[in-house]
Structure formats: structure tokens, C-alpha cells
Structure 1
Amino acid sequence: MSLAEPTAEVVAQAIDWRVRLASGLAPVEELEACVRWRRLHPSHEQAWQRLAVFDGRLGGMPPPQASQALRYRDRRTVLKGLALLLGGTALAGGTSLGLHGTPWLAEQRTATGERRRLALPDGGWLQMNSGTALDLAFDSQQRRVRLLAGEIMIQTGKQGAERPFWVDTPMGRLQALGTGFTVRLGEDSVLLAVEEGAVAVRPSAGQQTAAVVHAGEQARFDRQGVFAAQPLDRDALAWREGYLVVRQWPLARLCAELGRYRSGVLRCDPTVADLLISGVFPVGETDRALAALGHSLPVRARYLTRWWVTLEPA
């Protein structure tokens, strides 16, 4: 057994953290405390990551059973589930870049509310957020990702490092310089956030010289150029763990962000749109997140149907 192999006690602690953060009522400080716990020992992070994979497998269960399992009321069941994960995850992803150019025909897609992690042929990995579409090309000449919609996190691998690693977007091309970074497509711009190494940005039009964004920075760019780099907003990266971290957001902004993770329409009544909210919300259970808002604000979620919800005054 390796030093990083989690004990039953560590796994139980990881389960407790996920229960607390999945409640929809956790303050931001709870998430920060969880991050500190994960950094205390490699086995803590190992247990946390295995639970994240277990959460993903719950996506295929019927909603009532999945909801109950996500609360981890039966810890023995969870521990048995973790035992199945000791062998790691299977390699996923394509080996050729499709010429489709449209999200509907992409090689890899996630549905609304779905998040998925792919192993890459170079030994790295890629995580897809809700509503993401992409094509992959890994061969003797290149390592390439074409992002057509959504948001991804990439950790490049060391195998074939002599080949350039490209990420193509509708606004321009990125070149990874041995790194870990996140790319999110917007309607008229792309947000790049770099955690490790650096990334060169080449907009599709405008400036010819690539702009380099370094670790601990984020920058937005469009077809014409790259805007000034800003300090990295780590809260915005919490989606990879299944959470949305909110610090004094207008309710309308929270509504728009939660809407990325659920099918149908999620609206915010203008009379409550400017109310400020802070907290940690589970993106995998948006109904629970919406119900939790009533504990902090004088609002309620009114369901016309399951696919048409309005946040309005309580």
C-alpha cells in the first residue's frame, strides 16, 4: 500500500466533507477549510478524488436513488463503491480531429448538468464542464483540442512533449507551455485561467505576436486581441469539484450560472435580481441549490414545470 493510499478513517472524513458541501447551505469558509484538509496529506486528496469519480457514476442512477446516495447516508455502501475505483479509470477520447466544426457533431460532448473527465494519450487529462463539445487529435505530429462549446480544464502530459499542444477556439488558438489551465467559451470572448506553467494566446485576427498568460493569471480574449491579465480567480474553478462558489453575487448572476447546469429555463424576477448572495452551491443538484436560497434571501423558486423555474419574492 502506498503512502497516499487512504485509510477507512480518511475516506470517512472525505465523505463528511462532501456531505457538508453538497447541502447547498455551506458558507465559503467551509470550502476553504475543506481545501486545507485536502492539502494536509496526499491520502486526503486521493480519497477526495476517488469520491469525485464515485459521484460521477451516480449520474446513471434514477434521480431518487442518486439523490439519496449523494447524501452518503450509508457509508459502508460508499466504501464498497470506492473499492471498485482502485484500478483507475479507463482511457477515453479520440485520436483524430473531426472536421465537423459544430457542437452537435463533436467527438466528445457533455449534456446539460453533466461533467466528465477524459484521459489523454499523452498521459495528461481533460475535464469537461456542463454543455461542452470538443474534438481531439493526438498523433505523431500534434496534440490538439478543438473546443466548440462550453468549458474545459486541461493538464498536459509528458509523453510526446516534443509535439506542440494546441487548443483551438472560435476566437483564436492557445499553445500550452507545459501547464494546467482552464478555457471557457463565451458568446463574444474566451476566458483563459492558468494554474501551472504558461499559455500562449494567438487571436484569430489582430495582433500577430502571441501574448503569454502565466501561472496565477487569467485573461479574456476575442478575435482581435487579448485583454489585460488579472489575478487568477480560484473560486471560478470550483466547478471541477461539483460546486459553485459565490461571494456577494447579485441573484441574477447566480441564476444565470446555475442555469448552465439544468435543462429548460431558469429566470430571475427583476424585483429580486439585485439581492446579494454568498455561499457554496452543488451544481449537480440545482433544485437543492434553488431551495437553499430561501434560507438566506426572501425569495422562492416557483416551478411552472420542471423545465421552467422563476426565482421570485417569497
Structure 2
Amino acid sequence: MAASPRPALAEERPAQADYESLKVAAEWYAVLQDAEAGARQRAAWQRWLDARPEHRRAWAHVEKVSRRFALLRADGEREAAEKAMQVAARRPPSRRLAAGRVLALGGAGILGWLAWRFTPLPVAVTAWRSDYATSIGEQRGIVLADDTRVWLNTRSAIDVQFNQDHRLLTLAGGEILVETGTDPRQRPFFVDTRYGRLQALGTRFTVREMDDDVLLAVYDGQVRIQNIAGGDALVRAGEQKRYTADGISMAAPADPAREAWSRGVILAENLSLADLIAELGRYHAGYTGVDPRVAGLRVVGRYPANDRDRTLAMLERDLPIRVQRTLPWWVTLEPR
């Protein structure tokens, strides 16, 4: 049984910074990237920064999102460079202005790749050490030796160990959908998480590591939960449960949205706008915030997980909101 925590791939959220401070921080960031920004603007920004601790926390979060966006861009450039090298080897011997420029931040080429490659990010380290992994916004399906099918959601990683005694997946972080194959040797099929072990009994199910627990939803067959403290529970088709190292929740109806992502869809059935945007944020490197005045609006529909602009356009069409793009990677939803 898994007994030691692994680095989580869950998205960090700035709960300690209020919405208004985050909004103003992003606006200041855009202003300061403008080549025309001078000493007067920087002095005003410094006064704002020093005025309240919340302002410093908001500014730190804006900088963190900016670095993450730049690192992912550098990773994309690394992949493009690698492809170019492979091809070559086969051959013979104002604010709007600031927003447009912000994409140039973070370095490029080999320097950008080195910054990405050697930055001690837990997510990246986990992915490098895992047998299979996905990056932000990527989903991947694999077929194992016993014909088990596994889909990895955004920012997810697993290790696979098949031996003469068992078939074992270890979820290093993120979310997976598993459809177990039939093993002629009848070896048991396990999934280890940081809070315990799951045993699949001829089944189709999803497992997602949350910030504070693990969510299991079963769509076919049954799955047994055994947490680190020795708790034991059987989850049947159509049910879902959450568990921690020392507790297992009561069963609830399995949420169809928990497997819709394998088809590239975010399924909203009377979901709050804030919850929908939080889910959408898992698939994108930038920040998408919701004004508290519209956060509670209820949403029903099917939205493309990997096309943020299209999803936001759909929401802007159907709800009394407008999309405010302060930076290419910083978007907020406000009352219309």
C-alpha cells in the first residue's frame, strides 16, 4: 500500500489574495511592461504595493503565473527545436501595447529551455520520474500489456508495475480513467494513491487526487478502497466516494462529469460559474478569475476543456458577464 505522500499536481490557488487585489496587481503588471512606463508609474506602483499585505500577496501570485506561462512557452520552444533538429539530421551534410509584448517575457531558445529544465518544480520532477505523464491541457490514452485502457487527464502522472503477483498503477498526481482488461493469469489490479490502495474488480472508474483527499467514481463493476489507516469500503457502479489517509466518506451518486474529460469536455450540470472556471483552469497555464458578484451564477452545458477562448465566448453569450483580458495569460469574468 502507498504510505508516503508524493508531490501533488493540483493547481495552487491564491486563496490568501482577494479578487480586487489580484485584479489591480494584474493591471499594474501590464502597465509596468509598457516600454513607456517611467519613474512616476513605478513610484505609484510601489506605493500601492506597500499599502497592504494583500497587495504583496496578489503581486507575488501575478509574478508566479507569469513565470509559469513563460516556462511552458519555453517548453514548447524546446519541443519545436527538437523536431527541427530531427528534420535537419535527416538532411544531407500602452496597456494594450504592453499586453502584446508580454508574450516575449521569459526568454527563448536554449536559454528558455535551460530555465525550464532546471527549475525545481515539483510537477516537472514528478512527470520526469513517471512512466506516463501529461502536461497542462494535455490528455493521453494508453493501452497496457493486459489490454487495460488508461486515460490521463491534464497534469497527471502514473507509474506502472506488472509482475507475477499483481498489476499495479501508482497515481503520482492528477486524474485517471481506468477500464480494466481481462488478465488470463487473474492477477489482482491495484491503484495506489497517496492516501491508500484501490482494488478494481472488473471495472471502469476514475481516480482524482484533490488538495485534501482522493475522489473515486465508479461507472462499471466495483472498486474496493483500503486507506492507510486500514479503513475498507466497497464502491459500486454508479457511486463515488472520497477518502483520506484515515477516513472514507459516505457514497454519493457518481458524477458523469468525472469521466467526460476523457472526451475533452467539461460537463456542467447546475454548476456555479466559479466552480466551472476552477475546473477550466486545470487545463490552462494562465489565470482565469471570477468577480465575486457573478461567481454564484449557475451554469448548465458542455464546454471544450482545451479551448478556453471558446468556452469563455460561450459563457459571455449565455450569461450576464463580460470577459476582461488584462494580459494574454490573465483573464477575469465580470458583470456585464
Normalising by structure 1, we get a TM-score of 0.65
CA 101–211 in structure 1, closer or farther in 2 if over 3 Å, else same: farther
Query: In the alignment, is residue 164 of structure 1 matched against residue 183 of structure 2?
Result: no
SS in 2 for 1:270: coil
Q: How far apart are residue 191 of structure 1 and its match?
A: 0.8
CA 104–187 in structure 1, closer or farther in 2 if over 3 Å, else same: farther
1:217-236 matches, within 5 Å, as 217-236=239-258
1:266-305 matches, within 5 Å, as 266-305=288-327
In 2, Cα distance between the equivalents of 1:176 and 1:309? 41
Aligned-partner residue type, residue 260 of structure 1? R
2:269 equivalent in structure 1: 247
Report if the CA contact (8 A) 2:127-2:134 is conserved: no
1:60-209 matches, within 5 Å, as 102-207=126-231
**5+ residue gaps, structure 2:** 1-78, 81-123
In 2, Cα distance between the equivalents of 1:134 and 1:300? 39
**5+ residue gaps, structure 1:** 1-59, 62-99
CA 106–244 in structure 1, closer or farther in 2 if over 3 Å, else same: same
In 2, Cα distance between the equivalents of 1:268 and 1:161? 52
Report if the CA contact (8 A) 1:113-1:131 is conserved: yes
2:71 equivalent in structure 1: none
User: Considering only CA atoms, is the larger Rg found in Structure 1 or Structure 2?
Assistant: 2
In 2, Cα distance between the equivalents of 1:165 and 1:248? 35
In 2, Cα distance between the equivalents of 1:211 and 1:147? 19
SS in 2 for 1:140: coil
In 2, Cα distance between the equivalents of 1:125 and 1:247? 27
1:182-207 Cα distance to aligned partner (Å, 9 max, x none): 10110111111111111110011253
2:63 equivalent in structure 1: none
For these two proteins, the number of residue pairs brought into alignment is 215
In 1, Cα distance between the equivalents of 2:164 and 2:324? 54
In 1, Cα distance between the equivalents of 2:275 and 2:165? 42
Normalising by structure 2, we get a TM-score of 0.61
1:265 equivalent in structure 2: 287
Q: How far apart are residue 272 of structure 1 and its match?
A: 1.2
Q: How far apart are residue 179 of structure 1 and its match?
A: 1.2
1:133-178 Cα distance to aligned partner (Å, 9 max, x none): 1111122232111101111011111134521111000111101111
Higher helix proportion (structure 1 or 2): 2
Q: How far apart are residue 104 of structure 1 and its match?
A: 4.8
In 2, Cα distance between the equivalents of 1:308 and 1:162? 51
In 2, Cα distance between the equivalents of 1:145 and 1:237? 18
